[in-house]
Amino acid sequence: MFSSASPYKNQHYAELKKDCITSKKLFEDPEFPATNDSLFFRRPPPGRVEWKRPAEISSDPHLFVEGISSHDLNQGIVGNCWFVAACSCLALKPDLWKRVIADWKEQEWDSKHPENYAGIFHFQFWVLGEWVDVVVDDQLPTINEELIYCHSKCNNEFWSALLEKAYAKLAGCYESLEGGNTGDAVVDFSGAVAETINLEEGAYYKDQQKQDHLFDDLYKVYDRGGIISCSINALPHEIENKMANGLVKGHAYSVTAVKRVRLGHGLIAYFKNETIPLIRMRNPWGRTEWKGAWSDTSEEWSKVGDTERGNLGITVEDDGEFWMSFTDWCKFFTNADVCRLINTSVFTTHKTWHEVVHFGSWTKNAEPLLNRCGGCPNNKQTFLQNPQYLFDITKPEEEVLISLQQKDTKLHRKEGQGENLSIGFSVLKVELNRKYRLHDILTQKSVVTSAYINARTVFNRCTLLLGRYIIIPTTFKPYTLGDYMIRVFTNVDSGCRELTEDKPRTKCWSSFLGYPQAVTHVYVHSAEGLQNQDNTGGADPYVIISCEGKSVRSTIKLDTLQPEFATSAIFYRKKRRKPITVQVWNSNTVKDEFMGQVVLSGLVDDTANPQRLKLRKNGRNMADEMPGTIVLRIVTATQLTAM
């Protein structure tokens, strides 16, 4: 997941620092100067702003004071609780923050060698698939001698304020950080895959089975280094309103622990092994906590032994961190952002995923076939003009993770833009032998359709059966332009690749060997009334579709005389008079047995509805043995460009 970082704005930290030390000057960042342009584009801070370096704020400045902790951070005057919540989560993950706060030991103040201090810092963020190194100077905005944005509880600790400044530089200014999504910031800190869970819509509070499944999933995510945050929906006038139970609406909380807590005392608790699912959170304000069951002073803690309480680190203090029962969490919180660190390393005891990453754009062209911005499936005339990515599921059943992420737009808020596009994607099951772009939906069917939302990332986790599929990422409206990254995770290599060609290429020998004149789709739905082929009263049938020397074979259906194949194939045909053959075979360890076939004239009429045709042993005359029927659909397109 980690790789070398590219310098943002072509600013190389090591070179800039060396120049400052040589010239004995503190660094001043020309790309993010200490001016109002770096603070706001619409609403100025409430007071006279002075830019001060840490040494002007504290006599003993440090990057870290007694290490790094989720308790270090407090939110400032800008409404970026989402970012502060993400920083709280980051502080709990040493493997992550040591990457984000690059060279963290070297960047610390060194009292023994003050001559090496140059007033320059750098941080690394994951921006649309690439690690980017962002340089900042250490001039921080203050009002009345105090930091006005994110700051630490210790007035001589500056890692959070400097990290926020680097993130604000990426966004264009501090005000651009007002309003955002915690999951997005976590992705920028880690390269994780973000999934948004609507707790309210999913009604997890009312469904114990769904609730248990969700807790088990979140427990695994947290245990494997993932990051979780949550919030409560709010109307515009309700944002950051405190509820009677102590929770705050429209406010991002970081999840700092997911645990099954043992109930009882002493040996009785050990042998009884009764547990309750709890979840711990932190308010970025550093105060204002939950007042209900399992809060700091609630009587529920009397059910937990002293040793277990000590392991959990229970403190009775208004520090913004508190526990809740998982049931109450599902009841009162409406949304959760779950960021999974997907394991792609083979050197691990955990499940390993195979990842494929593609970068693309929704673009417009005067030639419709070259358009790549057709909009969502509602736009039937243009939908298939979008980018298309083909992949294969080679196991009988496989879990697939798909993440579609658009380019961050916060940088454009100064120009009155900066809103996310409404994006989503569809997954269609296609012919087993398809290798060209899809131009018409005939036998294909959509097996997954994501939500279409104006979020930076749209995620879907699904289970797919063996076969060939196409992912079509789109904007909601057609002819909307933008850039995106799509990531596909499977258990084994799926061969995921973009389809760019519309039809077979014309080659120098095509005039001699012939060029495809038509496209034919063959879809075999099922077979009926097959003859018994084994002593169990069934068979193990499969189907082979052949045309012009090429064939496609279905999977084997075990122990049945009524198989459902749902197998489709596509043939680019040079000679339309050549026959199409559909054969049914029975799988056998020693030798497969031929069960029957349908031989169709090449000049088959177009048909949109499934046809029941009699299977014959050789298909030459009506007197041949008929071992059953087969249900199939054949569609012939006379124009290649129309398909």
Query: What's the DSSP call for residue 609?
Result: S
- Known catalytic residue: 330? no
Instruction: Give the Cα separation of 320 and 289 in Å (integer).
Output: 5
Helix-helix angle 159-171:81-91, to 10 degrees? 130
The helix (H) or strand (E) run that includes residue 361 is strand 354-362
Q: Which positions ≥6 away from 385 have C-beta within 8 Å?
A: 368, 369, 371, 372, 373, 374
**β pairing state of 146-147 and 140-143:** antiparallel
- From 20, 74, 81, 122, active-site residue: 81
User: 37: alpha, beta or left, given left = phi > 0 and alpha = psi -120 to 50?
Assistant: alpha
Joined tokens for residue 56: 């002007």
Helix-helix angle 81-91:182-190, to 10 degrees? 40
Instruction: Give the Cα separation of 560 and 582 in Å (integer).
Output: 19
Joined tokens for residue 454: 């104006």
The helix/strand/coil state of 80 is: coil
- Known catalytic residue: 586? no
CB 182 within 8 A of CB 105: no
Instruction: Give the Cα separation of 482 and 252 in Å (integer).
Output: 28
- From 74, 80, 181, 283, active-site residue: 283
- Block residue for tokens 């645990």: 259
> What dihedral angle (degrees, nearest 10) is formed by the CA atoms of 552, 558, 561, 564?
-50
- Known catalytic residue: 283? yes
Instruction: Label residues 443-461 b or e (16+ Cβ within 10 Å = b).
Output: bbeeebebebeebbbbbbe
CA angle 192, 196, 197 (to 5 degrees): 135
- From 71, 122, 151, 251, active-site residue: 251
Provide the sign of the torsion angle of the four alpha carbons 254, 292, 199, 249, taken in this order: negative
Instruction: Label residues 211-231 b or e (16+ Cβ within 10 Å = b).
Output: beebbebbbebbeebbbbbbb
Tell me what percent of the chain is helix, strand and coil, each rounded to the nearest 5.
20, 35, 45
**β pairing state of 120-127 and 130-137:** antiparallel
Instruction: Give the Cα separation of 101 and 189 in Å (integer).
Output: 10
**Looking at this protein, which amino acid is placed at residue 120?**
I
CB 136 within 8 A of CB 166: yes
User: 623: alpha, beta or left, given left = phi > 0 and alpha = psi -120 to 50?
Assistant: alpha
Residues assigned a catalytic role: 81, 251, 283
